[in-house]
């Protein structure tokens, strides 16, 4: 989806640039007939395209490069349509939904809270959190924390999970915690 949107922006810019150049060529041709079209190389392009169409009409076998080009053009068109027409989805984690309203948070906000809680755990020097929302509400927190080498891996993971309980407990959030032995020089809380 990100690729499709990027492609839409780039292609839109290129098409606008091409349109501007064509407009310039037409304007030049209008001022001095022949000059603008020659400058844009339009007669040569017409001859090339004409020869290609003549070849197709003449029943020549379809060249592999043409076939690949056609398929690539179709794929590009499809990507452009997806980038243009598919609405952007806001990746929200719905924490609670009642008749009185809903409570939700963006992934970044939840990750910020979870990271702050995880980094308050004794024996944790740093933590990274990824949040994955679920379609029917709730989501999953993946915590990757650094700890000093001598600490017990399982004990630190349990402590982090306990620390996150205040965030995961009231909502349909599941936390999976992993720890790794920290690098030399990493500070410990």
Partner 1 sequence: MPLTPAHLASGTVRTRLAAVALEAAAGVDGVVGGDAGPNRLHVTGSGSGGSGGPLAGVRAVAEPGGGFAVDLGLRAGLVPLEALAHRVRLAVHGAAGAAGLGTELGPISVTFHDVVDPDQELAEAFAAALDTTGGAPAP
User: What residues make contact with partner 1 under the rule CB under 8 A?
Assistant: 88, 90, 92, 95-96, 99-106, 108-110, 112-113, 116, 166-167, 170-171
Q: Residue 103 Cβ, how far from partner 1 at the closest point, in Å?
A: 5
Classified as helix, coil or strand, 38 is helix
SS (H, E, C) the chain: CHHHHHHHHHHHHHHHHHHHHHHHHHHHHHHCCCHHHHHCCHHHHHHHHHHHHHHHHCCCCCCHHHHHHHHHHHHHHHHHHHHHHCCCCCCEEEEEEECCEEEEEEHHHHHHHHHHHHHCCCCCCEEEEEEEECCCCCEEEEEEEEECCCCCHHHHHHHHHHHHHHHHCCCCEEEEEEEEECCCCCCCC
Q: Residue 151 Cβ, how far from partner 1 at the closest point, in Å?
A: 25
Q: Residue 9 Cβ, how far from partner 1 at the closest point, in Å?
A: 16
Q: How far is CA 128 from the centre of its chain?
A: 20
Q: Which is nearer to partner 1, 4 or 39 (CB)?
A: 4
> To which residue do tokens 């395209």 refer?
49
Q: Which is nearer to partner 1, 65 or 101 (CB)?
A: 101
Cβ atoms < 10 Å from Cβ of 182: 19
Q: Residue 110 Cβ, how far from partner 1 at the closest point, in Å?
A: 8
Q: Which is nearer to partner 1, 115 or 140 (CB)?
A: 115
Q: Residue 94 Cβ, how far from partner 1 at the closest point, in Å?
A: 9
Q: Which is nearer to partner 1, 48 or 102 (CB)?
A: 102
Q: Which is nearer to partner 1, 104 or 137 (CB)?
A: 104
């Amino acid at each position: 989806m990100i690729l499709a949107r990027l492609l839409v922006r780039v292609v839109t810019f290129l098409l606008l640039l091409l349109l501007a150049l064509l407009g310039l060529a037409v304007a030049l041709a209008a001022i001095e007939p022949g000059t603008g079209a020659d400058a844009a190389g339009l007669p040569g392009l017409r001859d090339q395209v004409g020869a290609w169409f003549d070849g197709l009409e003449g029943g020549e076998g379809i060249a592999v490069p043409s076939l690949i080009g056609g398929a690539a053009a179709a794929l590009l068109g499809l990507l452009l349509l997806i980038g243009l027409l598919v609405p952007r989805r806001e990746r929200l984690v719905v924490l609670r939904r009642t008749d009185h309203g809903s409570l939700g948070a963006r992934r970044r906000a939840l990750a910020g809270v979870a990271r702050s809680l995880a980094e308050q755990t004794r024996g944790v020097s740093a933590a990274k959190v990824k949040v994955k929302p679920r379609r029917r509400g709730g989501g999953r927190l993946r915590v990757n924390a650094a700890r000093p080498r001598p600490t017990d891996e399982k004990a630190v993971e349990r402590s982090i999970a306990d620390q996150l309980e205040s965030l995961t407990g009231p909502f349909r959030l599941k936390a999976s915690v992993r720890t790794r032995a920290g690098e030399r020089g990493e500070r410990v809380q």
